[in-house]
Structure 1
């Protein structure tokens, strides 16, 4: 996985602060390929409760994590009981790594 311990902790801290301690976060995509270079950070944030403003929450998480990673592009996919499940959710759950 191409994330430092400090980056992993920054992601966890940001998700905890914004989405709450019950949220889980997984990294998936190119950041799991040790031989790759560059690329964005793809995250799946799973919440046990419904989300009222998913676009706002996703954008807030993405911005905060991006700032902590010196401007690196961060894409956040949300999973919650009231949100539609898409194929990207299945990929992230199957291939992703829990942080």
Structure 2
């Protein structure tokens, strides 16, 4: 995994602060592969209930993590009851690593 323990902790802390103690965050995508270079940080935020404004929550988490990672591009998917599920959600759940 091409993410330091410090950065993983920071991402988890930001997710918990924004989404609450029940939130879980997974890293998926190219950052899981040590042999690859570059790439954005792909995160899946798993929530037990529907947030008031999912798009705002995703943008807030992406912005905070991007700033902490010195401008690295961050993509955030939200998985919560009531939100549309796309194939990428299944990929992120099955291949992602819980931070």
Question: Shorter-normalised TM-score: what interval?
Answer: over 0.9
**TM-score with structure 1 setting the length:** 0.97
Distance 2:83 2:95 in 1: 21
Question: What is the RMSD computed on CA atoms of the aligned residues?
Answer: 0.6
Matches within 5 A, 1:42-57: 42-57=42-57
The runs of 5 or more residues in structure 1 that have no matched partner are none
Q: Which runs of 4+ in 1 moved over 3 A?
A: none
Matched, 1:92 2:92: yes
CA contact (8 A) 1:40 1:72 kept: yes
Q: Secondary structure at the match of 2:76?
A: strand
**TM-score with structure 2 setting the length:** 0.97
How many pairs align? 99
Distance 2:80 2:89 in 1: 11
